[in-house]
Amino acid sequence: MKKLRIGILGPSDIAFRRFLPALKNSEHFECAGVAIAKPHERNQSYNDHELKAMLKKSMQKAEDFLKNYQGAIFNGYEELLSSSIEAIYIPLPPALHYVWAKKALDYGKHVLLEKPFTTNLADTKKLLKIAERQGLAVHENYAFCYHAQINKIRQLIEDSEIGEIRQIRAAFGFPYRGAADFRYDRELGGGALLDSGGYPIKLSTLFLGKTAQIMTAALQSAKKHNVDVFGSATLENADGITAQVSFGMDNSYKCELEIWGSEGSIYAPRIFTAPANLTATVLVKKQEVRVYEIAGNDQFLGSINHFYHCMADNTLRLESYAEIEAQSRQIDDILNLTKKAGGNYESEINTGC
């Protein structure tokens, strides 16, 4: 079977560390190459010295890509989008997602976007409408959803190993990464909610189901940044089951899920970021603790495979649209709740369009 060609907008770290190693093992795609942004495509202002340094750094990273993986270096995002590729992977900062995903869709390309899909619900809806009109797949890369430990947890719940679900608790956070990181820049779509917050919200929705709604939320800033750096929220479904989520990017590291049941609990200590070679563990705590080991599997490859199936299957593609919109709505609801409560984080973020 001939593989489809997928290109990468920008030589990002996540593309090099996780996406390309997974893509190398894909049965469906091959890497067409990586694009280096031209100055006017960067949506940021630089003086001549800064621009030269940025271009040099980007080129060095792109060359490192090609030492390990196939493909070419494209001189500009538009050059890659206008080429004969079938699909594009966009690992850019969130504020650039809308403008470049829209351009990609306008060029007739299927789009795999890093999370969050966009920085607001309105932009998400616009992209989904364009994709549906043109029959194109779009996919939001919450890769943890495609790790085998998720299926194991679902099986344990279906088998009533912990009785009836009483509550879900999920947390994801990491230490401060430094002011230069895009996550701490509002103009680039930074903020804990759009970054680490999306993970436990997405996970909670997986288990609560389509009726899950945001009930309470709080966002807090620190270290004089103009973005939220930690927060929390409560979701509830039609059955009255709640999920408590917490997140942050000025926290000690946490990456865990606990599902509390009437007869026991399920605990997964590495639920979001398991490397491909990690043997993940899922614990069932009752009178005694049972440990289930999940052999290493590549959740990024699982996400890439799902993207391909969305391209090939119209029903799955429509389901993907609905899931993306639901996730964007949850985040939008949190922003609106915290804004009404007098929070200091505004929901409007410059998307560069």
Q: How confident is the model at residue 129 (pLDDT cuts 50, 70, 90)?
A: very high
Residues of CATH 3.30.360.10 domain(s) within the chain?
148-296
How confident is the model at residue 230, as a pLDDT? Answer: 96
Q: How confident is the model at residue 55 (pLDDT cuts 50, 70, 90)?
A: low
Backbone angles phi, psi at 220, to 5 degrees: -130, 145
Round the average pLDDT of the chain to a whole number and report it.
91
Per residue, what are the HEC states of 19-55? HHHHHHCCCCEEEEEEEECCHHHCCCCCCHHHHHHHH
First to last CA, the chain: 39
Of 50-54, 69-73, 210-214, 345-349, minimum mean pLDDT range: 345-349
Q: Is 3.30.930.10 the CATH classification of the domain at 4-143?
A: no
Percent residues over pLDDT 90 in the chain: 80
Active site residues: 115
Q: Tell me how far apart the alpha carbons of residues 282 and 270 are, in angstroms, rounded to a whole number.
A: 9
How confident is the model at residue 348, as a pLDDT? Answer: 38
Q: In Å, how far from its chain's centre is CA 108? A: 23
How confident is the model at residue 48, as a pLDDT? Answer: 55
Q: How far is CA 6 from CA 35, 50, 299, in A?
A: 11, 30, 18
**Which residue is associated with the tokens 């820049």?**
185
Residues of CATH 3.40.50.720 domain(s) within the chain?
4-143
Q: How confident is the model at residue 133 (pLDDT cuts 50, 70, 90)?
A: very high
Tell me the CATH number of domain 148-296, given options 3.30.360.10, 3.40.50.10140, 3.90.1170.40, 3.30.1540.20: 3.30.360.10
How confident is the model at residue 347, as a pLDDT? Answer: 37
Structure tokens at 94: 């969130």
How confident is the model at residue 262, as a pLDDT? Answer: 98
Q: Can you tell me whether residue 160 is helix, strand or coil?
A: coil
The dihedral sign for the CA sequence 320, 324, 327, 330: negative
pLDDT, tens digit, for every residue of 135-168? 999 999 999 999 999 999 999 999 999 999 999 9
Environment class of residue 228 by beta-carbon count within 10 Å: exposed (0-12), middle (13-18) or buried (19+)? buried
Helix H segments across 165-242?
198-208
Q: Which of 335, 184, 163, 297 is nearest to 248 (CA)?
A: 184
Q: How confident is the model at residue 349 (pLDDT cuts 50, 70, 90)?
A: very low
pLDDT, tens digit, for every residue of 230-269? 999 999 999 999 999 999 999 999 999 999 999 999 999 9
How confident is the model at residue 58, as a pLDDT? Answer: 75
Q: Tell me how far apart the alpha carbons of residues 51 and 85 are, in angstroms, rounded to a whole number.
A: 28
**Which residue is associated with the tokens 């190693």?**
21
Q: Which residues pair with 5 in a beta bridge?
A: 30
How confident is the model at residue 215, as a pLDDT? Answer: 97
Q: Tell me how far apart the alpha carbons of residues 246 and 199 are, in angstroms, rounded to a whole number.
A: 10
Q: In this structure, are strands 254-261 and 4-9 parallel, antiparallel, or unpaired?
A: unpaired
Q: In Å, how far from its chain's centre is CA 172? A: 13
Q: Tell me how far apart the alpha carbons of residues 93 and 116 are, in angstroms, rounded to a whole number.
A: 9
How confident is the model at residue 352, as a pLDDT? Answer: 40
Selection from 175-189, 246-260, 327-341 with the highest mean pLDDT: 246-260
pLDDT, tens digit, for every residue of 66-98? 777 888 999 999 999 999 999 999 999 999 999
